Amino acid sequence: MAPSVTEVGVGAAVAIYIIKTVFDFVLKMVNKPKASAKMADNTNAHTVINDKLAKIAAQVHDLHEWHNVKDNDHVFSWYIRDSLTKTIEELNTNVERLAAAALTLTSERKKR
């Protein structure tokens, strides 16, 4: 019995698809960039990465320099601010005044 038209059509379609896939693959390989072009791209990428790493290293060094500053008591200056010290001293003075006022009130009540 002779093959039907649909059987030949399906076989031909599969053959055409396979040939197209092979040709697409071959064209990709032919048009692939050459090794020297890739090496130039890699060299540029390495240069960019090295520049960025150098910038990061400089910034880390700057941060270390800023945070390594100490005052006369050998305490890092960024750790305790002068304004904090002043606020604590004012708070201490106010607590002493409050304690004195409380003692005065207590002694006044005892006299009554």
- Per-domain residue ranges for the chain? 1-32, 34-69, 81-112
- Position 67 scores a pLDDT of 82
71 Cβ contact list (under 8 Å, min separation 6): 77, 80
**Distance (Å, rounded) from C-alpha 61 to C-alpha 59?**
5
What distances in angstroms separate CA 64 from CA 53, 58, 59, 61, 81, one per listed residue?
16, 10, 9, 5, 18
**Distance (Å, rounded) from C-alpha 29 to C-alpha 63?**
50
Look at the pTM and tell me if it is higher than 0.75: no
Residue 60 token pair: 């880390």
What distances in angstroms separate CA 86 from CA 76, 83, 111, one per listed residue?
17, 5, 38
- Position 39 scores a pLDDT of 64
pLDDT digits (tens, 9 = 90+) for 57-111: 999 999 888 888 887 777 777 766 677 788 899 999 999 999 999 999 988 888 8
Whether 29 has a pLDDT exceeding 70, the answer reads yes
